[in-house]
Amino acid sequence: MAFKSVLRSVSVILILASMLAGKAMAQSVLIPSPPQIAGSSYVLMDPKSGRIIMEENSHERLPPASLTKMMTAYIVERELDEGRISMSDMVPISVRAWKTEGSRTFVREGTSVPVETLLKGVIIQSGNDASVALAEFVAGSEGAFVDIMNQQAQLLGMKDTNFENATGLPSNEHFSTAYDLAKLARAIINDYPENYPIYAEKHFTYNNIRQPNRNSLLWRDDSVDGLKTGHTEEAGYCLVASAKRNDTRLIAVVMGTSSSESRSQEIQKMLNYGFRYYESERLFSAGQELIQARVWSGQSDQLSVGLAEDVYVTIPRGSRDDLESSVDLDSVIKAPINVGDELGRVKVSLNGEVLVDQPVLALHEVPEGGFFKRIWDAIKLFFIQLF
């Protein structure tokens, strides 16, 4: 039995190695330490793999200022996606929304404004009035909308986040972290890609007032296509930005910098470092067969095993050939097997660091075999396990 297990393990490793060796690699590069970043906290993430390339105090709870509006927009986009509202719906502007202090879209009390216009006002201009108007429209009141925001934060795994309003205006128990905000940005990009181009728009005009997007990197770096700025006296100057170069996308977050110029410079340093020294690789595709598994007591003796989702890794440039992969299947796999049943795990590591550890699943079903098939396989298994 031990000999058979070793043979199976070796064969799986060889198959996976051939999958990973599809590209000729450039000479490996030496990677310097990450640059020093002048902010209270920061993080640089690859949204495909979730890999953190660099960070400092990324789990420290801090006031997020208008970065809050990323969640406000995300909730609105979810409502749009699920068909509960539409971009053309007219939103009545309440006195409370009109009077909200801070940055403004300049909506007028007693008028009605399309959802699309208000959503752009939230994302591009960071309008507090637009944020409150949308919150009231979606949930009936800003307070009820905040409950939804906090529930959604938990669903996204934002464990160190609590919202008390839809705008980011200062409040004692209103906080988030650089890491949580990177996860939120990742969800915005991945979950509702049809709306993501709004984050790259450089200007917004409403009531004949043309206002620029405060994310100055949209003018400086063509690869940057979002996301959101924030500033209050308590929070300092904050920025969540995303950029895509070739096939790699990165998300950078910095909180608590000293000026609008500083936040842009620090984010630019992070992005340049990440793109210069790292790359994102898709190792396996959803539904791709990784290995054929032996099935006992089934109508078929073989079963295709693979993954439910695409698997990406973020690795130093030139290191793909150093990846090591293996699949550890259950020692005995018996029918009936349903699509999606877990049958083992796949692991990918680089220089001893595990980058991927995910379950492998049945890609098709194997019904239970007939009576004589089950008896015959039981006898074979008995003798195999004896030796």
Q: Which residues are catalytic?
A: 66, 69, 126
Give the relative orientation of helices 69-81 and 128-139 as an angle to the nearest 10 degrees.
40
DSSP letter at 304 equals E
DSSP string, 312-332: EEEEETT-GGGEEEEEEE-S-
What is the spatial distance between Cα 236 and Cα 252, in angstroms, rounded to a whole number?
Answer: 17
Q: Check the annotation: does 244 bind a ligand.
A: no
Distances in Å between the Cα of 250 and the Cα atoms of 140, 184, 240, 268 are 36, 13, 11, 11
Read off the tokens for 4: 């058979």
Residue 316, preceding peptide bond in cis (omega within 30° of 0): no
What is the spatial distance between Cα 106 and Cα 127, in angstroms, rounded to a whole number?
Answer: 8
Beta-bridge mates of residue 257: 237
Read off the tokens for 378: 């039981």
Strand ordering across the sheet containing 323-329:
289-294, 302-306, 353-362, 342-350, 323-329
Find the angle CA(197)-CA(222)-CA(284) to the nearest 5 degrees: 70
Annotated binding site: 228
Return binding residues for substrate: 228
